[in-house]
Amino acid sequence: MNIQNLKKILHSRFGGILLLYLVFIAISLVSRTVLLSMSFKDVSLNPLNIIWSYGAGLIMDTFAYSYFMIPFVLFLMFVSDRFFNSNIHKWFAYVVYFITFCILIFNGVSEFFFWDEFGVRYNFIAVDYLVYTTEVLGNIKESYPLPALISGILIAGIALTWAVIKLKLLDASLVSKSILKTRIRTGLVLLGIPVLSFILIKNTTVEITKNRYNNELAKNGIHSIFSAFLNSELDYEVFYALHDNQENFKQLRDLLKSENSKFMSSETFNIKREIINLGEEKRYNVVFITVESLSAEFMGFKRNKKENPADFSGNVTNYKGDVTPYLDAIADSSLLFTNLYAVGTRTIYGLEAVTLGAPPKPGQSVVKRPNNENMFSVGQLFKERGYDLKYIYGGYGYFDNMNYYFSNNGYQIVDRSDLSEEEITYTNAWGVCDQDLFNRALKECDKSFAEGKPFLNHLMTTSNHRPFTYPDGVIDIPSHTTRVGGVKYCDFAIGEFIRKASEKPWFKNTVFVIVADHCAGSAGQAELPFMEYQIPFMIYNPGLVRPQQIAKLCSQIDVAPTLLGVMNWSYKTKFFGKDIVKMAPEEERAFISNYQKLGYIKNDRLSILSPQQKITHYKIDPQTGEMKREKSAPETDKEAIIYYQSANYVYKNKLNKWD
């Protein structure tokens, strides 16, 4: 493009778009050069690699800018000449450009600090920072000279805006004339660039050199964080401590073996085993209830140890009664596991763990990741035996990709959209109240029973979730007050459901699995406050399952194998989890995580794997929750890496598909 053409565009209505592009590219070029200098010892100085980092970088910057310019293009397409040529718009434009310059400079500064800490462009960690705003903002305030940085950004923004005004770079554009037809045609051409980018370009497209730093330099930070929002995934092999995969799987096979299992192949990377349980298989119906945010502390077996039974997890209340009287009664008549840990802090992590029986992955849950169809899951095992399989949810299951995940792994979907007006007595933003959910579940059980089919119905509750609203007059805590009220209402709904179910002809051959999706809160000063991850798990039907309490250290990934053990099934498995009932003392362990930190508990040790190949170690007290930092915990570290790295390898290489 020659100077004359450049001037022609700058003098048109869309000249401001080109001006912003040039500033965007200039800031990106400076940023890329600064980042290169920061990692000069690690970057490949091969001329081709450097040319690639800058050449591909320019292309990625252009595509990133194409997303950034969308609101500007839409504005320029439709605003009239009368307003566009006015003095009001002129000063409005200068204010907008000042704000935009500050945003671009702020992004460049932020990339500097992110690169300094992680050695990469923005990724899911940056997305994580947007999720955990309280902790992150506190850390930023303590770590960086914010007043000086903000002042510098404002001064730079003012300087750029002054240059634009002084050099009259926008003057010709702001007085230009245009017609709507021409504006729309030009705007559509410009908007086609981000559309093509979205279809054709991925953040990994530029990863062609063997040097990770050169690949990262070729990316653009804004495009990277946009990609992270869409993919929500951390590359385990880039960010976490690694061992040799071959050696990992050799040791993993030793960790997964049990007295009643045998491997079906001698291939190192094949963890498929046959579980053999002697005697008659039980063809029980299963009602699997995943309870929203039910910390173990709410339950009697934990709460009785506390002075104030309802004062925990930041939910201060003067309520002195039992929070879960119905669940406590059910627990007393159940096979109850009192030392089980949730793998994560969101519903989809819990759903992934109890259905796939595998440790969590860094970043987003498999439920929301691509390639999550036809996986080896507990549902597929039941479907193989002719069970009716349904996922029943009181909200709209498109949320968090739940409908897609379950429907592509053998389940029929029943969500809020399937409920008639007569079935809905109360709703909030999350869905129908738990009583409505359970009443519909009863109908689904009745339907399968009438058709002579065994069933596995997986229910997901919602009432124990902000805003904690539920029908008035059901419990003695007013709606829309505290989480304690949400818990007690959910407890009441479960109790009512079990009572109604006990009157059904299918009840005598049905077991009820009750487990939380995650705890009510996992905030704390520690990296992973492990005690906050404890949740209840019980299997109920006194006529079928002998009541007892088991205090073995275990995790959500053990729920499915334990259920299958209770039913005395022999089956082929790819689960990482084990039957807790048969678990030997040396097999006890638990997994906990929070997007980027992967925790592994063994005996009284906790190892935490973090980005930058970091491992931290703690000696823990399961009674008090105390965590004491240690220099090393080699055996726990080793097993943590074996499990997490191998689970990631299995997922990435699609070794956990149903076959």
* pLDDT per residue as tens digits for the range 434-456: 999 999 999 999 999 999 999 99
Domains and CATH numbers, the chain: 3-231 (no CATH), 281-588 (3.40.720.10)
Question: 112-141, pLDDT tens digit by residue?
Answer: 988 887 677 887 667 656 654 554 565 576
Distance separating alpha carbons of residues 179 and 169, to the nearest angstrom: 22
550-598: pLDDT as tens digits? 999 999 999 999 999 999 999 999 999 999 999 999 999 999 998 788 9
Rounded mean pLDDT, 64-91: 95
Mean pLDDT of the chain: 90
Instruction: Please report, as a single letter, which amino acid is at residue 561.
Output: P
Q: Choose from 202-216, 344-358, 458-472 the range with maximum mean pLDDT.
A: 344-358
State the amino acid at position 310 in one-letter form. Answer: A
Instruction: Give the pairing type, strands 273-275 and 261-263.
Output: antiparallel
Place of tokens 């999550």: 372
Looking only at the bridges linking them, the beta strands covering 590-593 and 598-602 are antiparallel
Bridge partner list, 460 = 290, 393
Q: Which residue has the higher pLDDT, 407 or 311?
A: 407
For 98-123, b/e burial (b = at least 16 CB within 10 A) is: bebbbebbbbbbbbeebbeebbbbbb
The angle formed by the CA atoms of residues 101, 102 and 103, to the nearest 5 degrees, is 90
233, pLDDT greater than 80: no
Report which of 118, 247, 306, 121 is spatially closest to residue 638, judged by C-alpha positions. Answer: 247
SS3 606: strand
Alpha-carbon distances of 72 from 5, 17, 60, 107, 191, rounded to whole Å = 21, 7, 19, 19, 10
CA nearest to 27, candidates 108, 110, 121, 122: 108
Non-local (6+) Cβ contacts of 637 within 8 A are 241, 607, 615, 617
Element (H, E) at 632: none
pLDDT-above-90 percentage for the chain: 73
Tokens of 590: 């638990």
Phi, psi at 617, each rounded to 5°: -130, 140
Predicted local confidence at residue 314, as pLDDT: 32
Identify whether the C-beta of residue 543 lies closer than 8 Å to the C-beta of residue 514.
no
Range from 153-157, 519-523, 549-553, 587-591 carrying the lowest mean pLDDT = 519-523
| pLDDT value for 311 | 33
Q: What are phi and psi of 541, to 5 degrees?
A: 170, 95
